Amino acid sequence: MNKQTTSDLMMVRPANFSSNAETIATNQFQAYIKKDHNLKSLSDRAIKEFENMLNILRENKLNVIDFNDDISLQNSDAIFPNNWVTFHENNTAIIYPMMSSSRRNEKREDILEKLITTYSFNIEKIIDLSYLEQEGMFLEGTGSVVFDRLNKIFFACLSSRTSFEALEILADKLDYSFFSFEAFSKSLPIYHTNVMLSLGEKLAFICLDSIKDDKSSRDLLKFIEINDREVIEISIDQMNQFCGNVLEVSNINNESLIIMSKTAFHAFTKEQKSKINNIAKIIKIPLSTIEKYGGGSARCMIAEIFLNKNN
């Protein structure tokens, strides 16, 4: 039986964290680095936030496998591995076509090899969709796609980073169905689905206000209410504070946890936090530097591992 949550998580320690000039045009959450900013200081702060997050997750009984970014690759966004790879229960890894050419070096076969040889995960099949980049079709992992693994369907808001044709190919490869829609903030397409939608086993977070088409909004809500999930509706303002960029996980004691940034935590209302706390423990993490200059939050920093392990 498929699982929606896992305790096995992958993270990549940044070596060259910065604000990526190639991605900022499509990412409303990302800020430019001012000329008087010290790049090393900025990178050091990002590393400090990363290490703190790693420690907090491990303290909460999560099995986090961390890899070092390769400094020679000069990847400013390596801290967001969820955009280039996903791992599935049928022992499959999928490599994704990324819009920014500067991010394509983040895809590393050595990481997949170490998951097999060092950590005993079973990867029987690698589906590499990178060839779609040459055709101008993009799909950026669990940034673009929010999986409902229990019901074998995924959801995606269309944007320059999420192509409908690529969704069709992914659905065929995984034997999933999918539901695509359009979502906006300040009249601009939302660049990644995982800023306005998060789907766990027990909880779902959604910004319905970002979906202008009423039918799409109603249909999406029906889908995510399956399995009696508690739905937390967030506003556009809350979405812009990363309240949709949260992740439900289950630790090694099978306890439900919700990982979110401190920014998101403070943006949720008292009533919303009470609903969440009734179902899962909130894990809040300070990520202000990574959020401001990377344009992503807690969920973006984690690639979940649903692979089986070899005995």
Tens digits of residue pLDDT in 156-172:
999 999 999 999 999 99
The enclosing domain of 96 has a CATH number of: 3.75.10.10
CB 29 within 8 A of CB 263: no
Residue 211 has a CB neighbour count (10 Å cut-off) of 23
Q: Quick one: pLDDT at residue 136?
A: 96
Residue 156: in which H helix or E strand, if any? strand 153-157
Q: Quick one: pLDDT at residue 236?
A: 94
- DSSP three-state, residue 63: strand
CB 294 within 8 A of CB 19: yes
Considering the domain boundaries, does residue 28 fall inside one? yes
Considering the domain boundaries, does residue 3 fall inside one? no
Residue 263, C-beta contacts closer than 8 angstroms, at least 6 positions apart:
241, 242, 287, 288, 291, 297
Q: How far apart are CA 76 and CA 19, in angstroms?
A: 7
Residue 59, C-beta contacts closer than 8 angstroms, at least 6 positions apart:
none
Closest CA to 42 of 288, 302, 253: 288
Considering the domain boundaries, does residue 145 fall inside one? yes
Q: How far apart are CA 264 and CA 285, in angstroms?
A: 9
- As a dihedral over the C-alpha atoms of residue 142, residue 23, residue 296, residue 53, rounded to 10 degrees, the angle is 100
Considering the domain boundaries, does residue 153 fall inside one? yes
User: Structure pTM?
Assistant: 0.93
Q: Is 263 exposed, middle or buried (0-12, 13-18, 19+ CB in 10 A)?
A: buried
Residues of the chain under the 50 pLDDT cut: 19-20, 22, 30-32
Length of the chain: 311
Q: How many structural domains comprise the chain?
A: 1
Considering the domain boundaries, does residue 205 fall inside one? yes
Q: Quick one: pLDDT at residue 30?
A: 43
Considering the domain boundaries, does residue 311 fall inside one? no
Q: Quick one: pLDDT at residue 293?
A: 79
Considering the domain boundaries, does residue 310 fall inside one? no
- How do beta strands 153-157 and 146-148 pair? antiparallel
Range of the domain at 272: 8-304
Q: Quick one: pLDDT at residue 209?
A: 95
Considering the domain boundaries, does residue 77 fall inside one? yes
